[in-house]
């Protein structure tokens, strides 16, 4: 497939592009919408909002999820909030400021036009969700409350207690449920996409596996939308839900969709450290804890005294020391890297020496326990439940964990991938966050894509297809892909080796975390690039999966997902190696300022790195989309 | 005489050593498929760290079973932090186990003692057919929501969010109800397998808000009717509230019942006027 990387950014001033574009795209007449079939894979925030909206417009929508219900998607666990530039508090917020902050926060590695549109439609999201009954926090006067989040200088974050993701997802799920009830959308639950089928250079449909019966089947449509979330679980341990995986977008990548910036991953500083090697996932605690907690380690490496036995003079409040202006509130990546440096220096605390303290003693003395309880009570309870320690008495222990993946399928301004007819929305695409995502902006992006962007842009691609039927699933391209999928799953069972899927996943995760995690270096990445294929060969030779492929088999499901994680892991390392600069969440030790900050190279690396698949475990080909900044000035971050 | 208070720090001293380990015996429900016959299987689980979550303990048992060539136990889970509602399990006869306000995935092994026998079964209810081992199908909940658990708003048609103020107490009460995670523990705990707590929580979330008023009575009626197609009747045992990991209040059921009666009345009046 010949690759063209045309971002299709509309002409005109940045604040008129979206309006102009909406006016110039081809429309599908309301009566004709029912003559189009659209497949939406994934029913998290992005997918459920898209499916509901498309169904509401009159399209025939088939929605797929491997969960039992759309309400289980990983989006449900987002805690903090969702941004919008409503300026309800008159503190000087505006669409332009939200745009500016998001581009800057992304360390100047995102596409200006997409980010501007995101900032523009964010206000509509708040209106939409409020009308749907999302119980956002209110002030005593009955109007919506906001808080400041993730270091933003304005209060623009809307929230619903510590359960914002849950409430937004319920809103989208309910909208989708309404369409399902009305018959415009059909839901295929516990059904996993295992391949994408293209016919004549266009996405024609998908191959799915029924998780209850193991049956492989095909579905075709005029367009396919992937809303399948992020891939942080390539690290094995992350804050993502257990089932999050890369299979859908990886299979699309193998079928010709370019994968952009795979190495851009975000590590979150405030997670509970793992307690043993059987730890299955890491729990995130809201970043807001850093507003009142002080981060420290013992000054002397290997100091095993209990924290209350370590006098003030022998503690190192390393963030306050190194960054007097921002202190404990430095951005996520800076806080994470500094914690890692302390642990690498042997100063880690806790039974496994794998954490740093987050201490509330002085806040409790200053504000009183009651105030601290009001602010953080549920987080403290959660911490106590997991660790068995009382954070009102003993400092919390925290450690960074993989949390979000900025990379994903390359999409143009219409959210269409390099495969015509195949779209990607939500965390599954690469579009809006550059090299680093700001807090409370993933929910915003998922819902912007699903409610307000895709429903317009998809019409432009569909309009010329009026009167055509979707490709018949009897087409030989479907038959071939189905057979490949059957062989793939039967293949895992046939290996009959000695090691479990989880064992391989854990080993892969260690390689990724050590060499492609918080800090990357050329020697480390080269090591990973040699180790991954070797471990993958072992996976293919020594995997052990029990049971069969004709009924529910959770180990078999995981085998398919881990297989794809191996292939993705290699690409992530290649991308990280290629990018000889540090930017946002991508930190190359070779490229740092004297202060230890990420050092960008705007002359050489102001581009999106989009990879073309050339074969399994083979070097992919890099294509570059140059990034041009006309509306923001590129600056170097400094938090001193 | 001086009384010395125990130093609170002593009881909760900061951890610098790994915790204890437990040896437990599991009696686990195994069932190969929806129509297969089920049975209890007994597995020894020695050397379990008290810091493990209950589901991590099951992960370990599963790895050990696989090493012995026994197919791992199937169980539902995903977020492992008490919010997605995917996990379930009757643990020693209690939905989500012994801790109040806690989902199975948030339960930790330190709750148990060395030598304990732990009985693990699926949630049992006619409306929740068993899929395999400990997994059940809770799709009937989705049918209830599809019947009316939403507020109709086409994307892009909503007015400015601050146009309708909502008193804080009302928003907070709606949020209390909306916290339901649709886990089904209320159904599993109920002697009648009724889903009134789940349905009432969803109805209350929407019915309390000004935005939800236009569809209030229609919503309540269709949701309750659909609920009755699948689930048993509520006879006010209150087991649901005790089992609920989100501590959803049983008071919502009373409100739903009132709304349902009024719905019947209202809809009939509306029909007689228009029919
Ligand atoms: C702990 C935590 C807290 C967070 N807090 C915040 C926050 O406060 N604010 C913020 O803005 N962001 C937050 N985020 C990020 C945000 O939650 C996610 O980026 C966002 O919810 C992703 O939504 P999505 O719709 O793209 O994907 P998801 O919600 O992950 O949905 C993916 C969907 O795809 C389906 N799927 C995937 N693969 C397949 C397949 N092969 N076949 C069929 N179906 C498939 C799944 O079933 C699911 O329905 C947080 C993330 C985490 C981990
Ligand atoms: S009401 Fe409680 S027990 Fe019932 S489904 Fe909701 S969260 Fe679960
Ligand atoms: S696994 Fe999500 S609530 Fe338990």
Going from N- to C-terminal start, the domains of chain A cover: 269-402, 476-602
At B113-147, the pLDDT tens digits run: 999 999 999 999 999 999 999 999 999 999 999 99
Interface test with A, best of B55, B75, B83 (most A CBs within 10 A): B83
Q: How far apart are CA A479 and CA B220, in angstroms?
A: 46
ipTM of predicted assembly, 2 dp: 0.95
Under the banding of pLDDT at 50, 70 and 90, the label for residue B2 is very low
CB atoms within 10 A of CB B257: 15
Contact B131 A212 (CB under 8 A): yes
Among A71, A97, A117, A332, the one annotated catalytic = A332
Q: What value, to the nearest 5°, has the Cα angle with vertex A66 and ends A164 and A512?
A: 75
Question: Token pair 């491997």 is at which residue?
Answer: A66
Residue nearest ligand 1's atom 39 by CA: A228
Q: Could you tell me where the DSSP H helices lie in A201-331?
A: 247-254, 318-322
Average pLDDT over residues A79-86: 94
Which atom of ligand 3 is nearest the CA belonging to B79?
Answer: 2
At A326-365, the pLDDT tens digits run: 899 887 888 999 999 999 999 999 999 999 999 999 999 9
- Calculate how far, in angstroms, residue B187's C-alpha sits from the geometric centre of ligand 2: 8
Contact B84 A140 (CB under 8 A): no
Q: Is B158 in the pocket of ligand 3 (CB under 6 A)?
A: no
DSSP A93-141: --HHHHHHHHHHHTTT-S-HHHHHHHHHHHHHHHHHHHHHT----B-TT
Residues 233-262 of B with CB under 8 A from A: none
Which among B12, B139, B209 has CB closest to A390? B12
Considering the four listed CATH numbers 3.70.10.10, 1.25.40.10, 1.10.1060.10, 3.90.79.10, the one that applies to the domain covering B138-274 is 1.10.1060.10
At B67-89, the pLDDT tens digits run: 999 999 999 999 999 999 999 99
Cβ contacts (< 8 Å) between A128 and chain B: which residues? 153, 155-156, 158
Whole-number percent of chain A with pLDDT over 90? 88
Which residue of A lies nearest to B67 if distances are taken between CA atoms? Answer: A498
Under the banding of pLDDT at 50, 70 and 90, the label for residue A53 is very high
Sign of CA dihedral A351, A353, A358, A359: positive
Q: Which of B227, B226, B220, B228 is nearest to B266 (CA)?
A: B220
Question: What six digits make up the tokens of A521?
Answer: 């270096």
CB atoms within 10 A of CB A371: 13
Considering the four listed CATH numbers 3.30.43.10, 3.30.70.20, 3.90.700.10, 3.30.830.10, the one that applies to the domain covering A269-402 is 3.90.700.10
Phi, psi of A225 (to 5 degrees): -115, 125
Asked if A123 contacts A96 with a C-beta cutoff of 8 angstroms, the reply is no
At A160-169, the pLDDT tens digits run: 998 999 999 9
Question: For residue A135, what are the CA distances in angstroms to A169, A443, A512, B118, B210?
Answer: 12, 16, 39, 39, 11
Q: Which ligand lies nearest the alpha carbon of A443? A: 1
A490-522 burial code (b ≥16 CB/10 A, e <16): eebbebeeebbbbbbbbbbbbbbbebbbbbbee
Which residue of B lies nearest to A554 if distances are taken between CA atoms? Answer: B74
Looking at A211-293, which runs of residues are DSSP E strands? Answer: 216-220, 223-226, 259-260, 265-271
Q: Is B184 in the pocket of ligand 2 (CB under 6 A)?
A: yes
Average pLDDT over residues A599-623: 95
Residue nearest ligand 2's atom 8 by CA: B183
Whole-number percent of chain A with pLDDT over 70? 99
CB atoms within 10 A of CB A344: 10
CB atoms within 10 A of CB A32: 16
Q: How far apart are CA A123 and CA A586, in angstroms?
A: 30
Interface test with A, best of B9, B57, B81 (most A CBs within 10 A): B81
Three-state DSSP class for A346?
coil
Domains B8-132 and B138-274 share a fold: no
Question: What six digits make up the tokens of A621?
Answer: 């080909």
Please report the number of interchain residue pairs, chain A to chain B, with beta-carbon separation below 8 angstroms.
244
pLDDT beyond 50 at B3: no
Question: For residue A622, what are the CA distances in angstroms to A415, A579, B271?
Answer: 20, 11, 66
DSSP B236-270: ---HHHHH-TT---THHHHHHHHHHHHHHHHHHHH
Contact A88 B162 (CB under 8 A): yes
Cβ contacts (< 8 Å) between B109 and chain A: which residues? none
Sign of CA dihedral A556, A558, A561, A566: negative
Under the banding of pLDDT at 50, 70 and 90, the label for residue A306 is very high
Largest CA distance in chain B: 85
The alpha carbon of residue B75 is apart from the nearest alpha carbon of chain A, in Å, by: 9
Which residue of A lies nearest to B134 if distances are taken between CA atoms? Answer: A552
- Calculate how far, in angstroms, residue B85's C-alpha sits from the geometric centre of ligand 3: 5
Average pLDDT over residues A411-430: 98
Interface test with B, best of A180, A182, A385 (most B CBs within 10 A): A385
CB atoms within 10 A of CB A420: 15
Q: How far apart are CA A296 and CA A339, in angstroms?
A: 9
Q: How far apart are CA A622 and CA A605, in angstroms?
A: 13
Which among B9, B142, B156 has CB closest to A393? B9
Q: Are strands A157-158 and A82-83 parallel, antiparallel or unpaired?
A: antiparallel
Contact A552 B77 (CB under 8 A): no
Q: How far apart are CA A463 and CA B90, in angstroms?
A: 53
The alpha carbon of residue A32 is apart from the nearest alpha carbon of chain B, in Å, by: 18
Of the two residues A458 and A438, the one the predictor is more confident about is A458
Which among B63, B78, B167 has CB closest to A142? B167
Which atom of ligand 3 is nearest the CA belonging to B84?
Answer: 2
Who lines ligand 1 at CB under 6 A?
A 41-47, 64-67, 73-75, 77-82, 164-165, 192-193, 227-230, 239-240, 244, 247-248, 284, 403-404, 426-428, 440-443, 446
Cβ contacts (< 8 Å) between A188 and chain B: which residues? none
Q: How far apart are CA A495 and CA A483, in angstroms?
A: 18
CB atoms within 10 A of CB A325: 9
Q: How far apart are CA A583 and CA A106, in angstroms?
A: 8
Question: What six digits make up the tokens of A330?
Answer: 């430095």
The alpha carbon of residue B54 is apart from the nearest alpha carbon of chain A, in Å, by: 11
pLDDT beyond 60 at B12: no
Average pLDDT over residues A207-230: 98
Largest CA distance in chain A: 78
> What pLDDT does A277 receive?
82
Contact B80 A280 (CB under 8 A): yes
Q: How far apart are CA A272 and CA A281, in angstroms?
A: 10
At B219-242, the pLDDT tens digits run: 999 999 999 999 999 999 999 999
Which atom of ligand 1 is nearest the CA belonging to A245?
Answer: 38
Three-state DSSP class for A598?
strand
Which residues, 6+ apart, have CB-to-CB distance to A378 below 8 Å?
A161, A162
Q: Which ligand lies nearest the alpha carbon of B86? A: 3
The fold of A476-602 is Methane Monooxygenase Hydroxylase; Chain G, domain 1 (1.20.58)
Q: Is A332 a catalytic residue?
A: yes
Q: Say what angle helices A112-132 and A17-24 make with each other, to 10 degrees.
A: 80
Q: Could you tell me where the DSSP H helices lie in A475-521?
A: 476-495, 501-516
CB atoms within 10 A of CB A131: 23
Cβ contacts (< 8 Å) between A350 and chain B: which residues? 15-16
Residue A423 pairs in a beta bridge with A225, A416
Which residue of A lies nearest to B103 if distances are taken between CA atoms? Answer: A385
Residue extents of the structural domains in chain B: 8-132, 138-274
> What pLDDT does A340 receive?
92
Question: Token pair 């991508």 is at which residue?
Answer: A586
Question: Token pair 């029909």 is at which residue?
Answer: B271
At B183-196, the pLDDT tens digits run: 999 999 999 999 99
Q: Chain-wide mean pLDDT for chain A?
A: 95
- Calculate how far, in angstroms, residue A426's C-alpha sits from the geometric centre of ligand 2: 29
CATH number of B8-132: 3.10.20.30
Question: What six digits make up the tokens of A629?
Answer: 């900044």
Q: How far apart are CA A481 and CA A194, in angstroms?
A: 9
Under the banding of pLDDT at 50, 70 and 90, the label for residue B8 is very low
The alpha carbon of residue B51 is apart from the nearest alpha carbon of chain A, in Å, by: 7
Cβ contacts (< 8 Å) between B181 and chain A: which residues? 166
The alpha carbon of residue A507 is apart from the nearest alpha carbon of chain B, in Å, by: 15
Per 3-state DSSP, chain A is made up of helix, strand and coil in percentages (nearest 5) of 40, 15, 40
Asked if B85 reaches chain A (Cβ–Cβ under 8 Å), the answer is yes
Phi, psi of A372 (to 5 degrees): -65, -40
Q: What value, to the nearest 5°, has the Cα angle with vertex B232 and ends B230 and B233?
A: 130
CB atoms within 10 A of CB A148: 17
């Amino acid at each position: 497939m010949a690759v063209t990387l045309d971002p299709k950014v509309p002409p005109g001033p940045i604040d008129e592009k979206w309006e102009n574009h909406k006016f110039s795209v081809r429309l599908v007449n309301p009566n004709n919408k029912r003559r189009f079939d659209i497949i939406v894979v994934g029913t998290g925030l992005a997918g459920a909002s898209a499916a509901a909206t498309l169904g509401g417009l009159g399209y025939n929508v088939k929605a797929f999820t491997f969960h039992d219900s759309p309400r289980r998607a990983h989006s449900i666990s987002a805690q903090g909030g969702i941004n919008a530039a409503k300026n309800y508090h008159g503190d000087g917020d505006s669409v332009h400021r939200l745009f500016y902050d998001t581009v800057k926060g992304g360390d100047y590695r995102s596409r200006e036009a997409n980010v501007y549109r995101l900032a523009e439609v964010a206000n509509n999201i708040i209106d939409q969700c409020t009308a749907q009954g999302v119980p956002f926090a209110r002030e005593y006067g009955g109007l919506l409350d906001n808080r400041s989040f993730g270091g933003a200088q304005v209060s623009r974050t809307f929230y619903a207690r510590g359960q914002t993701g849950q409430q937004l997802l319920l809103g989208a799920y309910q909208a989708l449920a309404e369409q399902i009830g009305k018959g415009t959308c059909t839901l295929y639950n516990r059904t996993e996409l295992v391949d994408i089928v293209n016919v004549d250079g266009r996405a024609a449909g998908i191959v799915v596996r029924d998780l209850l019966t193991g049956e492989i089947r095909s579905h075709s449509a005029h367009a396919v939308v992937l809303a399948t979330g992020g891939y942080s679980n390539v690290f094995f341990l992350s804050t993502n839900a257990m089932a999050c995986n890369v299979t859908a977008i990886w299979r699309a990548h193998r079928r010709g969709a370019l994968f952009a910036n795979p190495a851009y991953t975000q590590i979150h500083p405030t997670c509970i450290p793992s307690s043993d090697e059987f730890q299955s996932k890491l729990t995130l605690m809201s970043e807001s804890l850093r507003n009142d907690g002080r981060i420290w380690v013992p000054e002397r490496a290997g100091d095993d005294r209990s924290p209350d036995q370590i006098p003030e003079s022998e503690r190192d409040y390393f963030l306050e020391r190194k960054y007097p202006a921002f202190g404990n509130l430095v951005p996520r990546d800076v806080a994470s890297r500094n914690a890692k440096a302390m642990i690498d220096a042997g100063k880690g605390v806790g039974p496994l020496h794998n954490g740093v303290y987050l201490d509330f003693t002085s806040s409790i003395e200053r504000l009183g326990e009651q105030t601290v309880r009001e602010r953080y009570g549920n987080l403290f309870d959660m911490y106590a439940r997991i660790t068995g320690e009382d954070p009102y008495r003993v400092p919390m222990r925290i450690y960074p964990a993989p949390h979000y993946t900025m990379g994903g399928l390359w999409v143009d301004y219409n959210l269409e991938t390099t495969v015509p007819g195949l779209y990607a929305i939500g965390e599954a695409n690469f579009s809006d966050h550059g090299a680093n995502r700001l807090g409370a902006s993933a929910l915003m992006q998922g819902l912007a894509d699903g409610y307000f962007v895709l429903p317009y842009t998809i019409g432009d691609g569909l309009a010329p297809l009026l009167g055509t039927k979707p490709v018949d699933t009897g087409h030989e391209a479907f038959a071939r892909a189905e057979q490949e999928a059957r062989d793939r799953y039967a293949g895992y069972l046939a290996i009959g080796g000695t090691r479990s899927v989880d064992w391989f996943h854990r080993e892969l995760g260690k390689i990724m975390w050590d060499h492609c995690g918080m800090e990357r270096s050329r020697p480390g990445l080269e090591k990973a690039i040699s180790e991954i294929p070797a471990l993958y060969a072992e996976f293919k030779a020594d995997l052990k999966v029990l049971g069969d492929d004709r009924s529910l088999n959770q180990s078999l499901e995981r085998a398919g997902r881990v297989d794809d994680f191996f292939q993705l892991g290699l690409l992530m390392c290649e991308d990280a190696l290629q990018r000889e600069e540090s930017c946002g969440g991508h930190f190359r030790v070779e490229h740092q300022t004297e202060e230890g900050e990420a050092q960008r190279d705007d002359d050489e690396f102001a581009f999106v790195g989009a990879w073309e698949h050339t074969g399994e475990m083979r070097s992919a080909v890099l294509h570059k989309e140059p990034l041009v900044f006309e509306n923001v000035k590129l600056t170097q971050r400094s938090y001193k | 005489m001086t009384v010395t208070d125990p130093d609170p720090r002593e009881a909760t001293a900061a951890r610098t050593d790994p915790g204890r380990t437990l040896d437990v015996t599991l009696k686990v429900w195994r069932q190969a498929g929806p129509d297969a016959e089920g049975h209890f299987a007994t597995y020894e689980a020695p050397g379990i760290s008290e810091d493990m979550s209950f589901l991590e303990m099951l992960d370990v048992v599963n790895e050990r079973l696989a090493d012995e060539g026994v197919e791992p136990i199937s169980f539902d889970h995903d977020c492992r932090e008490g919010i997605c509602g995917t996990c379930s399990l009757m643990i020693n006869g209690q939905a989500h186990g012994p801790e109040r306000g806690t989902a199975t995935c948030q339960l930790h092994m330190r709750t148990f003692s060395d030598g304990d026998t732990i009985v693990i079964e699926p949630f049992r209810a006619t409306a929740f057919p068993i899929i395999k081992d400990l997994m059940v199908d809770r799709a009937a909940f989705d049918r209830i929501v599809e019947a009316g658990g939403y507020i109709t708003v086409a994307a892009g048609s909503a007015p400015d969010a601050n146009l309708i103020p909502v008193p804080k107490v009302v928003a907070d009460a709606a949020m209390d109800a909306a916290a339901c995670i649709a886990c089904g523990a209320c159904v599993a705990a109920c002697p009648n397998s009724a889903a009134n707590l789940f349905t009432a929580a969803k109805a209350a979330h929407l019915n309390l808000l000004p935005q939800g008023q236009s569809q209030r009575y229609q919503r309540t009626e269709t949701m309750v009717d659909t609920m009755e197609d699948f689930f048993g009747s509520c006879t006010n045992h209150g087991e649901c509230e005790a089992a609920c990991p989100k501590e959803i209040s049983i008071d919502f059921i009373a409100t739903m019942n009132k709304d349902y009666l009024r719905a019947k009345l209202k809809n009939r009046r509306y029909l007689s006027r228009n029919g």
